[in-house]
Amino acid sequence: MIKPHGSDTLKPLYVADAGKRAALAKEAEGLPSIVISSAAAGNAVMLASGYFTPLTGYMNLADSLGVCEKMRMTSGLFWPVPIVNVVKDAGPIRNAKRIALRDPNVEGHPVIAIQDVKAIEEASPEQMKFMTEKIFRTLDPAHPGVAAFNSVGNLLVSGPIQVLNYSYFDKEFPGTFRTAMQIREKIEKSGWKKVVAFQTRNPMHRAHEELVVMAMERCACDGAVIHMLLGKLKEGDVPADVRDACIRKMVDLYFKPNTVDITGYGFDMLYAGPREGVLHAIFRQNMGATHFIVGRDHAGVGDYYGPFDAQRIFHEEVPAGELKIEIFEADHTAYSKKLGKVIMMREAPPGHTKEDFVLLSGTKVRQMLSNGENLPQEFARPEVAKILMTYYQGIRKA
């Protein structure tokens, strides 16, 4: 099986031993504590799950700046975005060597992890600006990732962590949330040698479905892992439970049995385009995928990135040999009325025009579903459209 990034083995930070976990929870009761940001909690879940192998905790300022500048930590490890615990006020943990981190996303703010504090460092306004621009390629506060990154503070609390739970993800999504270790076990049990991963924060329409099929065929993969984001999204995105229902219905009806694993991971979307695309590739390698689909405007939002910037970065900025996973570069995929099937638009025969494709904007789709109008079968499977229609009509009535 493909090796994890920067390591021969996965390095999950979840404390699996129940006795040790109970002892740490008891210790946490007497430690200085702080409620961390949602982003930091998501980082803890990813570290716990082995997705962020080989990291041992939150980065310090030097590592964060190095990652932003040249995608390198001070150790030389290749990494695309800072994995940090940033706070506005470090008063409650000032001078503490060991602290309890409390989960902002669970009622009562239970302890999610214990951290050994190596440093508490203040990032200057210039350094925050530098990191923001490198990660997101913009300083526009209207960008949801920029807004989130700059809203949590500028004090970096660095050091290794031991994680006590997976926040709300394993409880709210018991049939979908999976760690990198669990996905590797499933891949091995299934006997898959080549595996393609598909990232999604949206329901899957016909174009997405066909894209997974194309990637499996062209990369000679034995199986596919549909890996959906379960964390916080921007306003207007479809909730995870609705996406999950849509994807499961599509796979049940339209994929061959035992060729697709439907899973999810706990993380807040960054909307960082190219940089986030590289992060997505790293943690898909860590979960055992040999191939990863990077589509048009991957991890993008609005018009902040070019349509293929997230593919270009793998050629222009990722050093050769740093990643073992292979990238499947996908174009915009749509149903061709001329050919009677879904194709990648760049592969359309000469003579194809925009009018020859079934293309619907997200806004148009939402309007149609809210009004109870059926989506074209060339755009969405009717069984999937029905689930979405129920959701959008519920929003409208509310």
Catalytic residues: 201-202
Lookup result for tokens 């609005």:
302
CB 333 within 8 A of CB 358: no
Radius of gyration, CA atoms only, the chain: 21
CA distance 318 to 304: 21
How buried is 353 (Cβ within 10 angstroms: 0-12 exposed, 13-18 middle, 19+ buried)? exposed
CA 5 distance to own-chain centroid: 16
Please tell me whether the peptide bond between 54 and the residue prior to it is cis, using omega within 30 degrees of 0: yes
Decide: residue 188, CB within 10 A, 0-12 exposed, 13-18 middle, 19+ buried: exposed
The closest alpha carbon to 200, from 275, 293, 289, belongs to 293
Rounded to 5 degrees, φ, ψ at 161 are: -130, 155
Residue type at 305? Answer: Y
